[in-house]
Amino acid sequence: MEIHKLLQRQINKNVPLGLQDDPSFQSFIKTVNDSYLSFERDKDLMDHSFQESEKEYNEVHENLKKEYELKQQSILNLYESLTDLDQGYGSINEEEKNDLLFISKYLSEQIAKRKETEKKLFETVQFLKTLLENLQSGILVVDNNDTILFVNQYLCDIRSINASPEEMIGKKTIDYLNEAKVLFKDSTAYKKRINEILLNKEIVIGEVLETVDNRFFERDYIPIFIENQCIGHLWKSTDVTQKIKSKNLLKQSEERNRIIMNSSLNAIIAIDITGKITFWNNQAEIIFGWKKEEVLGKNLNETIIPDRHKKGHQEGLKYYAETGKSKGSVLNKQIEQLAINNKGQEFPVEISIIPIEQNGEVFFCSFIQDISERKKVETKLKFQEEKYRNIIANMNLGLIEVDNNGIIQYANQSFASISGFEIDELIGLNPSKTFVLGKNIEKMKAKKKLHERGISDVYQMPVKNKRGELRWWAIGGAPNYDDKGNLVGSIGIHLDITEQKLMEEELEKEKIKAEEASKAKEIFLANMSHEIRTPLNGIIGFLRELERQPLTDLQKKYVENSTVASKHLLSIINNILDISKIEAGEMSLEIEDFIFKDVINNVVAVLEPLAKKKGLKLISQISPEINTVLKGDFLRLEQVLFNLVGNSLKFTNKGKIYLKCEIVKDSKAFQRLQISVIDTGIGMEQSFADIIFNKFSQEDKAITRKFGGTGLGMAITRELIQLMKGEIKVQSEKAQGTTISFILNFEKGDINNIKKVQEEINVDISGTNILLVEDNIINRMVAINSLHYFNCEVTEATNGLEAIEILKNRKFDIILMDIQMPEMGGIEATIKIREELKLQTPIIALTASAFKSEVKKCKNAGMDDYITKPFEEFDLIETISRFTNKQFNTIDKPVFESNEKLYDLKILDKISRGNSEFVLKMIVIFIDQIEEILPKAEAALSSDNFLLMNQLIHKIKPSIESMGIVSIKDEINILEIITKEEQPVKEKITHLFFQIKQTLLTVVDELQKETLD
């Protein structure tokens, strides 16, 4: 930057070097330097003007000398010029007017005066320019033609003009300030307002304009008049963004404070030093009832202060105004006081009064809370506390409080009574040392630690009282805390339960006796079941074999009747066992989907021939509103219906029997059904109807002799209905008939989930090598005939010892093991086979007992499954096929007709996040993997390479899980474990592998059909 020489000398002389490089100082010097340079230019211009005037004067002077004759004319012309230049020239006399020297001298004086005037004018202009240039506002001065006469740097900066003020002077504003239409938010209004101001030519102060970048300019306008003529315009622009923002923030803060105060749960009231109300928030309106508009400006004494306190309030304000102190200690603390509302009702309040000084004025801000409810609660609590204190003192429960050292601090009268001490004697005693027997000292220490951790508990303990008597106390212990939450000890509540303990001991003895009796009954029933079922198994088995022989019609009839009789006998045995199972809690329900109409039709189809034989009509009526598919134990439902309809057939000689099914309640998920069996039979007295469900109950012996029966059917029926959460009732009239109704709730089912069991035996178990262990020759013959029919190889053993000897030398595919045998029973034999011989050959129990306890013994001994005698041939063959690899050639287990998929792609869908291509790709990879792994695993199984098989199964396990194939999850886990054992059992591995294989191949087939096609 070029600095004026004079300025440079002043800087060098007066300004320290360190300050000369300061950016702020340099900016100031630039402004001053520009003023110097501008002054220099104006001075040169003026000097040039004076030089030209002087030259002209000299020429005139020379002309005067040369052309004297023109003197008068020149003087005249000069006189005229002086007249125009100076109005005071007319005072010169005529002699002086003709004196050329005088005129020249006079002219020189006037020129000197003009120079002085111009100099002062220039200095004034320079001062004003410097002042305007350094103002913290943008200044723009234009003439009437919109030509820029002056502009300062500040305006260039705030308007982002890329030009210096010197460059802009003499130019049009449109060249630099045309961006206003895009700078300000409302450009149309901006332009309109400019035109309006220029038209009015009146001073405008403090207009605020907002820019598109959220800045704010304050604009002033001053029209420039000279001799009542407007010659230009001065515009002043100031950036007030920070000022506006601060103002807005202050306004927001004030609004926020106002909202907070109005939202406060306390009433907030402000008064000045005279007691006039200046603020009244919303909560004050709610508490006191007056609206803000009603109280502002009023004295507080006129509103919420009761009459008896008004004088004290006024004196307190006066005292504070005189001394600056409160009269009494009411300021800056919470006090409770009475106030009144707009209805004149007094109520208690909690008030805090804060004195505040602001701008030399004092006012008081009161925070007030209505404590009416709290006072009511406190009064109630006080009453309750007194009541409970009386209860504790007089209740039958002994109460003591001990400190952290276990010393009694308080005891009520009841504790004194049960302990044998007086209350005064108890204070200061250690209850653990006084009452607790030695063996329970450690137990009390453990209880103390629990209380220290804040844990309460209840326990029973034998103790000794003051007289040394042994007593039993029930003790409830809990930690005791003070108001600050510090543990100060514990509280114990004590009840003398000595009499109850004696009763418990007696009850325990009776319970043991009852359990022993129940166990003896169970053993008796198991033995009875075994003794009856064993010959019955032979009878049913040989009848089955007879049915396969060529028979005459009469022989077929005899065989059929014998079969019916044997099954009736089996039914009686089952009824007895059902009652025992129900009593023992071993009866459970199998919940599955079934077609309700099929159950009813099945019962009718079975019993209708008996009805026709007696000349009766068996009619079923099913409400069409009953859902087609229900969920429940349909076999137990059939058993109930067979019992009820069978009874009606038995006790009805003429007329009709109705089986009615109606809806009681229907909802979206459930139906409540009422099923009724109505007959026109012999009926019964209503008094007997009330006890008909008792075991072995019939109305009289004559009926028993005539109609037969055990009297267990109705008892079993009621137990089964109660097991299904239902209810049953009987209405009967002697010689008129009987109506038995029961109500059950059923969940609505899905037709796709119905199972259809394949009843035909088409399983190929040919060549299966079976060891049959059975002591009863008849049962052996029945089983051997069935097994030979299916081309099995059977080896016989009459007891467990024989079986073990045979197994030491031979291997079998499966073992059929009776339970009760002489010398060594099936349970003991199985344990020896598993533990001593280390054989894992599948063992199926042949048991005449269906009790859970018997089945559990079989499972615990190591047996794989069980079949109840007398067995159905289908059950026997299906079970053998399930535990040998023969099953995989044809049928594995009951076939299900269901549309339910064996896989679930939810996991894949979740991982893919909706990407169907990813899901399809994963399915293709899964199918390829299964088709590759299964043959390899089967080959590894054939070559006894179980380690390789384990690795292959482990490899496909994650894929199986990701495809949601949960039906073989357990089998996969078991197979993975047993293939790693030191001595793997091939039979089990084979069984599991082919089960897994069949499921996986089914899944692959489903995926190819439903997903990839």
Segment 532-547, tens digit of pLDDT: 666 776 677 777 778 7
Contact 920, 897 (CB under 8 A): no
641 close to 603: Cβ distance less than 8 angstroms: yes
pLDDT > 70 fraction of the chain, expressed in percent and rounded:
82
Contact status, residue 422 vs residue 444, Cβ threshold 8 Å? no
Distances from the Cα of 232 to the Cα of 148, 175, 227, angstroms: 10, 18, 13
Count of Cβ atoms closer than 10 Å to residue 375 Cβ = 14
Q: Residue 592: pLDDT above 60?
A: yes
Residue with the larger pLDDT of the pair 895 and 924 = 924
For residue 517, what is the enclosing H or E element?
A: helix 498-547
Predicted local confidence at residue 99, as pLDDT: 63
Q: How confident is the model at residue 71 (pLDDT cuts 50, 70, 90)?
A: low
Mean pLDDT over residues 768-784, rounded?
Answer: 85
Q: Average pLDDT, stretch 386-406?
A: 78
Q: Residue 92 and residue 370: Cα distance in Å, rounded?
A: 101
pLDDT at position 525 is 62
Instruction: Return the structure tokens found at 411.
Output: 């005891």
Distance CA 222, CA 140 (A): 11
Confidence (pLDDT) at 696: 45
For residues 500, 502, 507, 510, the Cα torsion angle rounded to the nearest 10 degrees is -170
Residue with more model confidence, 312 or 533 = 312
Lowest-confidence range among 197-211, 514-528, 772-786?
514-528
In 696-764, which ranges are continuous DSSP H helix? 701-707, 713-723
CB 814 within 8 A of CB 880: yes
Exposed / middle / buried, residue 648 (Cβ in 10 Å: 0-12, 13-18, 19+): buried
Per DSSP, 540 falls in state H
The Cα–Cα gap between 340 and 287 comes to: 10
Q: CA 952 from chain center: how many Å?
A: 41
Q: CB burial class (10 A; 0-12, 13-18, 19+) of residue 154?
A: buried
Cα gap 264→257, rounded to integer Å: 10
Q: Please indicate whether residue 456 or residue 364 has the higher confidence score (pLDDT).
A: 364
Whole-angstrom Cα distance, residue 980 to residue 954? 11
Q: Note the pLDDT of residue 701.
A: 45
- DSSP state at residue 369: E
CA distance 78 to 98: 10
DSSP structural state of residue 299:
B
Q: What is the pLDDT of residue 892?
A: 38
Give the 3-state secondary structure of residue 592. Answer: strand
Helices 986-1007 and 916-942, axial angle in degrees (round to 10): 150
Q: Give 166 or 520, the one with higher predicted confidence.
A: 166
Give which of 651, 643, 649 is closest to 612, Cα–Cα: 649
pLDDT in tens, 209-235: 888 888 888 889 999 888 888 888 998
Contact 456, 490 (CB under 8 A): no
pLDDT at 272 over 50: yes
What pLDDT does 710 receive? Answer: 45
Average pLDDT on 749-777 reads 78
Average pLDDT over residues 241-265: 74
| CA end-to-end distance (rounded Å), the chain | 86
Tell me the two tokens of residue 1004: 């692959």
The rounded distance, in Å, linking the Cα atoms of 830 and 801 is 11
Instruction: Please provide residue 823's backbone torsions phi and psi, each rounded to the nearest 5 degrees.
Output: 70, -55
Residue 662 to residue 671: CA distance in whole angstroms: 10
CA nearest neighbour of 907 among 841, 832, 946, 964: 964
> Is residue 769 pLDDT above 90, yes or no?
yes
Return the bridge partners of 814, or none: 770
Q: At which residue do the structure tokens 């004194």 appear? A: 416
Q: Would the pLDDT of 111 be above 50?
A: yes
Burial class of residue 496 in the structure, from the number of CB atoms within 10 Å of its CB (0-12 exposed, 13-18 middle, 19+ buried): buried
Assess contact for 614 and 652: CB atoms under 8 A. yes
Count of CB atoms situated within 10 Å of the CB of 927: 20
- The position carrying tokens 């069980």 is 866
Cis peptide before 223 (omega within 30 of 0): no
What is the band of 747 on the pLDDT scale with cuts at 50, 70, 90? very high
So what's the pLDDT on residue 76? 62
Residue 660 confidence (pLDDT): 95
CB–CB of 290/300 below 8 Å?
no
What confidence score (pLDDT) does residue 812 get?
94
Cβ proximity of 689 and 714 under 8 Å: no
Query: What is this structure's pTM?
Result: 0.35
Decide if pLDDT at 504 tops 70. yes
Max avg pLDDT among 308-317, 435-444, 789-798, 851-860: 789-798
Q: How far is CA 544 from the centre of its chain?
A: 63
Give the residue among 910, 908, 940 at the shortest CA–CA distance from 925: 908
Angle made by CA atoms 574, 575, 580, in degrees to the nearest 5: 95
pLDDT at 699 over 50: no
Cβ 146 vs Cβ 177: under 8 Å: no
Average per-residue pLDDT for the chain: 80
Please state, in angstroms and rounded to a whole number, the distance separating the CA atoms of residues 796 and 806: 9
In the predicted structure, residue 708 carries a pLDDT above the cut 50: no
Tell me the C-alpha distance between 153 and 400, whole Å: 91
Phi, psi of 93 (to 5 degrees): -75, 170
Where does the pLDDT of residue 670 fall: very low under 50, low under 70, confident under 90, or very high at 90 and above?
A: very high
Residue 333: partners with Cβ closer than 8 Å, 6 or more residues away: 352
pLDDT of residue 741: 94
Pick the more confident residue, 109 or 731.
731
CA angle at residue 172 from 170 to 178, to 5 degrees?
A: 145
Torsion of CA 688, 693, 697, 703, to 10 degrees: 60
Q: What is the pLDDT of residues 942-953, one digit of tens each?
A: 888 888 888 888
Cα–Cα dist 441/320, whole Å: 68
